[in-house]
Amino acid sequence: GQQVMQIPQYQHVQEGEDFTTYCNSSTTLSNIQWYKQRPGGHPVFLIQLVKSGEVKKQKRLTFQFGEAKKNSSLHITATQTTDVGTYFCAGLSIDAGKSTFGDGTTLTVKP
Amino acid sequence: DAGITQSPRHKVTETGTPVTLRCHQTENHRYMYWYRQDPGHGLRLIHYSYGVKDTDKGEVSDGYSVSRSKTEDFLLTLESATSSQTSVYFCAISIGARGYTFGSGTRLTVV
């Protein structure tokens, strides 16, 4: 079945440093979505990417979808303490009718 | 978020007892999902529904059953709870390009 790998599992940064998490799928994707989960909370939808090579920005967050539509990344510039949480990708395989979530990257930010 | 509520929020139950978790939505969405979240495993799909009385298994469906007799309600039943089913359970609805909207979760402890 489809597998979605996400790295790193954990990332500890100093406030102001950049952060990147990577998502890799074993199959070609129709789309990829990104979610953020604050500690003790539920996942919240951030964005969906659909096109090969697509890049989208949300303030300090930059999302990319690979040319082959099998990988994606989320980059946060100049992290803040409010960025703390776990970031998940979810890939919808071309062959499947539902998305598969990666295991998430947990970001901690030291003030 | 999109009128989705889960009940109960917390539950402690004994091994071998049946448990039912409820998910209720107010916006008439067709697709509903049950996920479990465990440390290091991200979100794993248990069952999903694509309409009243239409359900299908996810990747970790053993020991769980679901029912959807009304569009707004999606029930998850643990037929005979085991300690391995101690987890946080999230219900979600799918809103197309706006991704999944998750409920606040049910923290279930099986002792």
Distance from CA of residue B81 to its chain's centroid?
Answer: 15
* CA B5 and chain centroid, separation: 11
Confidence of residue A2 (pLDDT cuts 50, 70, 90): confident
**Fold annotation for B4-110:** Immunoglobulin-like (2.60.40)
Is residue A88's pLDDT more than 90? yes
Of the pLDDT bands very low, low, confident and very high (cuts 50, 70, 90), residue A1 is confident
Q: Which residue is closest to A45 within chain B, CA to CA?
A: B99
Give the count of domains, chain A. Answer: 1
Q: Tokens 């107010």, residue?
A: B26
CATH number of the domain within which A106 lies: 2.60.40.10
- Any idea where the domains of chain B sit in the sequence? 4-110
**By three-state DSSP, how is residue B52 classified?**
coil
Per CB-CB distance under 8 Å, the chain A contacts of B57 are: none
Cβ contact B63:B76 at 8 Å: no
Domain that holds residue A51: 4-110
Nearest-Cα distance to chain B for A86, in Å, is 10
Report the pLDDT averaged over residues A72-86. Answer: 98
Q: Which of B59, B77, B60 is nearest to B68 (CA)?
A: B77
Q: Count of CB contacts below 8 A, A vs B? A: 47
| Residue B1 banded pLDDT, cuts 50, 70, 90 | low
Cα–Cα distance, B46 to B66 (Å, whole number): 9
